[in-house]
């Protein structure tokens, strides 16, 4: 077996003859790297072999299914609780905080449980490994998501697919500073943090371990879009799910490429922040033209 070849103890990094295959194998000064390469008459290898990238971390499928069940149940519970207290005449900020706690609290508990049961006990097991480079990759991921949203918006417009935004400008105003701050914290901090932990940190990793990568990326993206369905929007949910599923696939691709949640989490926060800023500022009032409609489609996820 090639793997049984003992590495030299004092030799410098370089290519050495492989007695098992008759080719060459690279030694980096500490261990053998890569597979042996065949001998080419008159040519000797000089460059170190390319390092193979570590496989994407995976989780048991039960962790992914459990995350989806917990999130679905908590989102439903959040709407039920709000319906029960909507007539209490509390400040809007209180309703936002209550909805965030009820809707996202159980998912945070599940993520904490998964990292201890199926990971190494740290948040790194779910992809929480922030780096300074995320400040650059995050905006690039956001730009990619916006471009993909625009292409999906063109399809929706061309096929006349019903669409209702999950940020209605008639429902949001910037008159109450406390309300605006609470809304921004929920949409720009809580939603990206929890939703990326669930969909890209647990669901994607659970799917990758049991199905082809392309299927895993598309499926988690569609489930991300479906998580934003609201019965009150009726058939308008169809277009909304299409747009947000596209975003979910882009964010999933980012999480897979970087093996961490920093870039998609930051991109998610920018998406929500830009959308809320446009709506709260009134810049998208009376949207009618297709071009303005495309902008409106870049809404919060």
What pLDDT digit, counting tens, does each position of 26-37 carry?
777 777 777 777
Q: Which helix (H) or strand (E) holds 23?
A: none
Q: How many CA atoms lie within 13 A of 245 on its CB side?
A: 17
Domain shared by 174 and 271, yes or no: yes
Domain shared by 36 and 171, yes or no: no
The alpha carbon dihedral of 217, 100, 150, 137 has a sign of negative
Among residues of the chain, what percentage have pLDDT more than 70? 80
Among residues of the chain, what percentage have pLDDT more than 90? 43
Encode pLDDT of 133-167 as tens digits.
999 999 999 999 999 998 998 898 889 888 877 66
User: In this structure, is residue 6 part of a structural domain?
Assistant: yes
Domain shared by 161 and 45, yes or no: no
User: In this structure, is residue 105 part of a structural domain?
Assistant: no
Domain shared by 37 and 179, yes or no: no
User: In this structure, is residue 97 part of a structural domain?
Assistant: no
pTM exceeding 0.95: no
Domain shared by 228 and 135, yes or no: yes
pLDDT of residue 46: 64
Size of the chain in residues: 301
User: In this structure, is residue 219 part of a structural domain?
Assistant: yes
Domain shared by 44 and 139, yes or no: no
Domain shared by 287 and 149, yes or no: yes
- Report how far apart, in Å, the C-alpha atoms of 72 and of each of 77, 84, 187 are: 9, 19, 18
Structural domain boundaries enclosing 159? 129-297
Encode pLDDT of 243-267 as tens digits.
999 999 999 999 999 999 999 999 9
pLDDT of residue 289: 45
Q: How far apart are CA 79 and CA 155, in angstroms?
A: 31
- Bridge partners (DSSP) of residue 43 are 40
Looking at the 3D structure of the chain, how many domains does it have? 2
Q: Which of 37, 52, 67 is the last residue in one of the domains?
A: 52
Encode pLDDT of 157-201 as tens digits.
889 888 877 665 445 554 556 667 777 778 888 899 999 999 999
Residue scoring higher pLDDT (204 or 93) = 204
Domain shared by 138 and 259, yes or no: yes
Residue scoring higher pLDDT (228 or 6) = 228
Q: How far apart are CA 143 and CA 150, in angstroms?
A: 11
């Amino acid at each position: 077996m090639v793997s049984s070849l003992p590495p030299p103890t004092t030799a410098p990094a370089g290519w050495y003859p492989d007695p098992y295959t008759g080719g060459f194998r690279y030694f980096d000064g500490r261990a053998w790297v890569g597979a042996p390469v065949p001998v080419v008459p008159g040519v000797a290898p000089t460059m170190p072999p390319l390092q193979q990238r570590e496989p994407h971390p995976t989780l048991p499928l039960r962790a992914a299914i459990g995350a989806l069940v917990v999130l679905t149940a908590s989102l439903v519970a959040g709407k039920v609780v709000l319906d029960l207290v909507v007539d209490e005449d509390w400040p809007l900020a209180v309703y936002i905080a209550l909805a965030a706690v009820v809707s996202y609290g159980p998912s945070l508990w599940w993520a904490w449980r998964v990292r201890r049961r199926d990971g190494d006990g740290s948040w790194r097991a779910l992809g929480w490994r922030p780096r300074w480079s995320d400040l650059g990759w995050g905006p690039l991921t956001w730009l990619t998501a916006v471009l993909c949203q625009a292409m999906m918006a063109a399809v929706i417009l061309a096929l006349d697919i019903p669409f209702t935004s999950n940020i209605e400008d008639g429902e949001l105003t910037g008159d109450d500073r406390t309300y605006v701050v609470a809304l921004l914290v929920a949409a720009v901090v809580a939603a990206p943090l929890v939703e990326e932990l669930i969909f890209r940190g647990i669901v994607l990793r659970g799917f990758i371990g049991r199905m082809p990568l392309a299927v895993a990326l598309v499926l988690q993206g569609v489930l991300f879009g479906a998580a934003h369905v609201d019965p009150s929007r009726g058939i308008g949910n169809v277009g909304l799910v299409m747009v947000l599923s596209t975003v979910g696939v882009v964010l999933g691709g980012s999480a897979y490429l970087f093996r961490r949640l920093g870039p998609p989490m930051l991109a998610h926060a920018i998406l929500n922040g830009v959308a809320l800023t446009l709506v709260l500022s009134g810049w998208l009032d009376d949207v009618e033209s297709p071009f303005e409609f495309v902008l409106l489609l870049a809404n919060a996820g």
